[in-house]
Amino acid sequence: MKIMQMSFMIIGVFLFFVLVGLFVLGIVFKDVNAGAKELAMQEAVASIEVIAAMPELNYDERDSMVIDKDKLKVLAGGLAEDYEMFWPIASLEIYKVYPVFDERISCPAAGCNYYDVYDSGHRDVEKFSSYVSICERVREFGYVYDRCEIGKIVVGMKIWDSEVVE
Amino acid sequence: MKFRDGVRRVLGCEKRGQQEIVGFVLIVVLVVIGLMVFLIISVRDSGEEVGGVRVSNMVDVLMRTTTDCAIVSEPYFEDFEDLFKSCREGDSCANLGVSACDYLNESLRNVVSSMVMSDASVDGWEVEFSVREGEGILRWSDGECAGGVSGAQRTIVSGGTSLIVRMRVC
């Protein structure tokens, strides 16, 4: 009788711990999905930093996330197509956030605010963005100074081996 | 005599049964405490890091932005970092004829609003400019903070005083 009671107790405790284990596993695996998304986001943010730090875009190598406006103008003017094998991404766009603009004017043009630097033509692209400073060296009243505006860099990442739209 | 022995035996069994129940309850309590600790740790870790990086980047970009205020004369325009220092020192924008603090108060709201406007995931924001000792100088905010909050802060040293610019985004 006592052995039976004991065995019931052990089974009860075992079942209790199994339920607790399932509860913990449920929470852990719920976090795995969120963790995967977070890692993808971290990777994207790191990629954006790497791209913004490239000598082709960077304004001052001591500062990260600072883009040279003159280099942008050149790249948006069509030179970026020659870099097709160079960019490790699907697309790269940069636009001004401040000063605020009413309509999008693609560069190169007077008073432009949108730089379409590179587009590989991939169809399935996931886009990530971050704020950047867009700086240029300006000469006014005989003096040279740095003028920085606020922009947003939008990087398109290829999803698997997506097709290229011609 | 037999009746007394029987009662004693029953009472002894009940005592042992109570001990087992107390032991079981103790195990349950310990497991529940363990679960609570686990839950608190797992909730604390979620999403703060990336959000913090993003807000930190926002503050860096904001600090570098050139304003239209020139304290000395044009074209020596201040960036926001210098403007915070000039506000603390009570300077004025020579080209605009307003105090650095008034210009900062007006322009920072516009700049942060336009930054946030381009980000659909932001519901509200708050920027606070204070001296290290806790004395608040200026504060801007907009929107409602209902969900998770990410934040970043920068310390600017001006004339031996540490100025703190803190940003919170939700």
Segments making up each domain of chain B, as ranges: 48-169
- Domain, as residue range, for A62: 37-158
Amino acid, res. B35:
L
Residue A28 included in any domain: no
Distance in Å, alpha carbon of A51 to nearest chain B alpha carbon: 15
A27 and B CB contact within 8 Å? yes
Helix (H, G, I), strand (E, B) or coil at B140: strand
- Number of domains into which chain A is organized: 1
Tell me whether residue A150 is in a domain.
yes
For residue A166, the model assigns a pLDDT of 47
Q: What is the mean pLDDT of residues B141-155?
A: 81
What local confidence, expressed as pLDDT, does residue A95 receive?
A: 92
Single-letter amino acid code for the residue at B5 = D
Instruction: Determine the Cα–Cα distance for residues B142 and B107; give it in Å rounded to an integer.
Output: 14
d(CA A26, CA B107): 48
Inter-chain residue contact A130 with B27, CB threshold 8 Å:
no
Say if A90 falls within a structural domain.
yes
Partners of residue B117 in chain A, C-beta under 8 Å: 100
Q: Is B111 on the interface with A (CB under 8 A)?
A: yes
CATH code at B48-169: 3.30.1140
Nearest CB to B61 within list A9, A34, A150? A150
Classify strands B66-70 and A143-158 as parallel, antiparallel or unpaired.
Answer: unpaired
Q: What pLDDT, on a 0 to 100 scale, did the predictor assign at position A22? A: 86
* Any domain includes A63: yes
Cβ contacts of A149 on chain B, cutoff 8 Å = 65-66
Per-residue confidence in pLDDT tens, chain A, 166 aa: 778 888 888 888 888 888 888 888 887 777 677 777 767 767 777 878 888 888 888 988 778 889 999 988 888 887 767 777 777 788 889 999 988 888 888 888 888 889 988 888 877 888 888 899 999 998 888 888 889 999 999 988 876 554 554 4
Give the alpha-carbon dihedral of B105, B108, B112, B117, to 10 degrees.
80
The verdict on residue A166 lying in a domain is no
Amino acid code (one letter) for A13: V
More confident position, B53 or B78 = B78
Read off the pLDDT band of B42 (50, 70, 90). Answer: low
**Token pair in block for residue B63:** 């600090």
Decide if B47 and A135 are in contact by the 8 Å CB cutoff: no
> How many Cα atoms occupy the beta-carbon half-sphere of A68 within 13 Å?
14
Q: Say if strands A66-68 and A125-140 run parallel, antiparallel, or are unpaired.
A: parallel
Contact between B164 and B132 under an 8 Å Cβ cutoff? The reply is: yes
Least Cα distance to A89 among A52, A145, A47 occurs for A47
Per-residue pLDDT of B28-41, as tens digits, reads 788 878 877 877 77
Cβ atoms of A58 and A73 within 8 Å: the answer is no
Residue A156 host element (H or E): strand A143-158
Residues in chain B with CB shorter than 8 Å from the CB of A100 are 110, 114, 117
Report pLDDT for B161. 82
Domain presence at residue A66: yes
Q: Which of residues 28-57 of B touch A (CB under 8 A)?
A: 28, 31, 35, 38-39, 42, 46-47, 49-50, 53-54, 57
Which among B27, B60, B111 has the least Cβ separation from residue A98? B111
Q: What is the pLDDT of residues B83-120, one digit of tens each?
A: 988 888 888 999 888 998 899 888 988 898 888 887 87
| B25: closest chain A residue by CA | A13
More confident site: A89 or B148: A89
Distance from C-alpha of B113 to C-alpha of B18, rounded to nearest angstrom:
65
Secondary structure of residue B76 in the 3-state scheme: coil
